Structure 1
Amino acid sequence: MPSKTYSEEFKRDAVALYESSPGASIQTIATDLGDNRNTLQNWLKKYGTGARTNISTTSDAPSSASVTEAERIRQLERENARLREERDILRKAAKYFGGRDELVIRFRFVDDTRHDHSVKRMCEILKLNRSSYYKWKSTAVSRRKRLFNDAIRGVRVKTVFTQERGCYGAKRITAELNDQPEDLKVNHKRVARIMRSLKLVGYTKKRKVTTTVADIIKTVFPDLVGRKFTALRPNRTYVGDITYLPIQDGSNMYLATVIDCYSRRLVGFAIADHMRTSLVQDALHMAKGQRGSLAGAIFHSDHGSVYTSYAFQDTCQELGIRQSMGAIGTSADNALAESFNAALKREVLQDSKTFANQVQCRRDVFRWCTRYNTVRRHSWCKYLAPAVFEERYPVILKSAS
């Protein structure tokens, strides 16, 4: 596996991300970046402002093993207290958990007053089948057990949902729960039912469709992908695009991406306040640094002028990349890149229309892009993060392709 290289801009963004994340340890940020702790520490020594020196020293270098163990116990106690509190609240409301039902209320009335009146008589008056009542009564234990289990599951579902800022739906939450060793396996249909009962809905937002203005004078390359955004192994086929990031003051930042079709991994990206050719060149150079070599790979894009420019063509030839382009005005020909852009804006901006300022924009987008590879679960990757998917499945078997 070739060693990774990073641009100075990437290193400075990584340092800024750590210094602007109170409470986050060096190990946590390094894991999100897909690198090791020592690398991030070296970047902090070189580019850091020292704003979090005391905090990081305290959190990352405990004075003794006993302090670490005591802190772990306190964390477990706090978590258990929260779980008990939410479980007790849900248990008290268990009879309303699935929504109130008149038939169930009538069954309860019969059961509560069965010593005062005959069951047969009450069923006749209430127009109930006695067999239905007795079945309801015989299954009471199993119903209570299911409601109790749903209440416990509901706490964990809500925890994951909150941690991911409402961006995870039932299937991603299911994958997260099934990866936790202390949890029992659960089906996504059950998680969906629990989410409905808790009124938890994964965040969705329609994206605006924009078209690329092509430069008709420059060279147009043939479509080597044909809307088949797949590959048998990493580092074979890439897609890329530029998307704008609106700022509150009316300006824009821009993000250029290079995405591997095998794992949907974001191997290269660049953020800037301009949309010049150097932006897409920087993203491609970052991809080269991550993969070691891009020789023989295909890079697919739209007909934007930056991709048809002579400077970008020279960069592709230098790196041994073959260019590919879809049809003009057809977003489906670059659907993978478009989908990535939509997911980023949906999950970062959510209900906001703009970023507060350029600094905040760069920081939030950088954070999301790094976590996208190492943490965010992707449906294409069997609900694993792209980096984890590449480690577990380095090559797609022909029988599965």
Structure 2
Amino acid sequence: MLCRLLEIPRSVYYFYKNKPLTATEIRNNKLKKKISTIFFTNKQRYGATKIHQVLLKEGISVSLKHVQKLMKQLNLRSIVVKKYRPQRSNKPIILKENLLNQDFSTETICEKWAADITYIPTKKNGWCYLSSIMDLHTKKIISYTFSKRMTVDCVIQTLNKAKIHYHIPEGMILHTDLGSQYTAREVEQWLKTNKIRHSYSRKGTPYDNAGIESFHASLKKEEVYTTSYSDFEEANRALFSYIEGFYNRNRIHSSIHYLTPQEFEELAKEKMA
């Protein structure tokens, strides 16, 4: 029946049906399975570049172009969403010193930290707020606090959590924006007590805090904008899973040689030992 519809001899049909796969076809099929596994294990967050690096780390020799080709055949595309853009403020500009001055270079951990607050939407509780701190050496989120209100206490709580788990050397830099939570007297006093130098972004210059801004962009693209949280508790669980289960321990970064933040931190600690 099929042969008549296609107007081809039965012998030709059975020849191609029973034709063994070539070595290239077998390898491509194995690669497709591996690529699909990496793609869905990472919740569709990895594009061809990161999948290519994972394959290389696992000893699988393949070009980026070939990975892109196979992903296209599989119709696998990483999550892409519109970037969040905060509203402009008409408040007067506060002049503070920018110690970092876009110099994100470091020799080891706990030299330069970056902190910021970002908005997380929920259906029941409206806007909630994630306060987080990144070590610029490892790109690891070393501390975070999720709250229903954007307060100074939320920022100090995040700082205290970081202090519990990391030794703070005298003169370390904490870089933030000029938000009222970070310019508050209580925060300035906490930093002074712990001998931390406070560096501030210039108004309207997000690249001054590029590290933490990049984290927030990834968080929004790969997690927040891909779903809808019913309430604060659901969002809190999702953020914990993303930060602790994926970002810190499984998400590779090109800026740290395609290692995860946790792996890079462990290497830094080994060098310090």
Provide the residue aligned with 1:26 in structure 2.
none
Cα contact 2:128–2:232 (8 A) shared by 1: yes
Provide the residue aligned with 1:147 in structure 2.
25
1:238 to 113, 121, 134: 113
Q: 252-261 or 370-379, which moves further after superposition?
A: 370-379
Q: Is the aligned partner of 1:314 residue 2:192?
A: no
Cα contact 1:212–1:304 (8 A) shared by 2: no
One-letter code aligned to 1:357? D
2-side partners of 1:184 and 1:253: how far apart? 43
Shift of the 284–213 alpha-carbon distance from structure 1 to 2, 3 Å rule, reads farther
One-letter code aligned to 1:171? T
1-side partners of 2:83 and 2:165: how far apart? 30
Cα contact 2:125–2:231 (8 A) shared by 1: no
1:173 to 51, 72, 75: 51
**Cα shift readout 1:265-318 (whole Å, capped 9, x = no counterpart):** 111111111111011111111111221224321011110001000000011111
1:328 to 199, 203, 211: 203
Deviation at 1:243, TM superposition (A): 0.3
Shift of the 272–262 alpha-carbon distance from structure 1 to 2, 3 Å rule, reads same
The alignment-based identity, stated in percent, is 26
CA radius of gyration, larger in: 1
2-side partners of 1:147 and 1:283: how far apart? 52
Return the TM-score normalized by structure 1. 0.59
1:201 to 62, 77, 83: 77
Q: Is the aligned partner of 1:356 residue 2:230?
A: yes
Provide the residue aligned with 1:282 in structure 2.
157
One-letter code aligned to 1:186? V
Runs of 4+ in 1 over 4 A off after TM superposition: 211-217, 393-396
1-side partners of 2:43 and 2:262: how far apart? 22
One-letter code aligned to 1:324? S
SS of 2:22's partner is helix
2-side partners of 1:263 and 1:153: how far apart? 31
Deviation at 1:191, TM superposition (A): 1.6
One-letter code aligned to 2:22? R
Q: Is the aligned partner of 1:299 residue 2:177?
A: no
Provide the residue aligned with 2:16 in structure 1.
none
Provide the residue aligned with 1:391 in structure 2.
266
Query: Structure 2: which 5+ residue stretches go unaligned?
Result: 1-11, 13-19
Return the TM-score normalized by structure 2. 0.84
Aligned residues: 254
Q: Is the aligned partner of 1:192 residue 2:73?
A: no
2-side partners of 1:345 and 1:336: how far apart? 15
Shift of the 215–299 alpha-carbon distance from structure 1 to 2, 3 Å rule, reads farther
One-letter code aligned to 2:83? R
Provide the residue aligned with 1:365 in structure 2.
239
Provide the residue aligned with 1:162 in structure 2.
40
Query: Structure 1: which 5+ residue stretches go unaligned?
Result: 1-111, 113-140, 397-401
One-letter code aligned to 1:337? I
Cα contact 1:244–1:255 (8 A) shared by 2: yes
2-side partners of 1:223 and 1:277: how far apart? 21
SS of 1:267's partner is strand
1:269 to 135, 140, 144: 144
SS of 2:153's partner is helix
Shift of the 332–175 alpha-carbon distance from structure 1 to 2, 3 Å rule, reads same
Provide the residue aligned with 1:248 in structure 2.
123
One-letter code aligned to 1:251? G
**Cα shift readout 1:198-230 (whole Å, capped 9, x = no counterpart):** 11111111212115758759x743111112222
Cα contact 2:120–2:224 (8 A) shared by 1: no
Cα contact 2:114–2:175 (8 A) shared by 1: yes
RMSD, aligned CA: 2.6
Provide the residue aligned with 1:343 in structure 2.
218
Cα contact 1:300–1:325 (8 A) shared by 2: yes
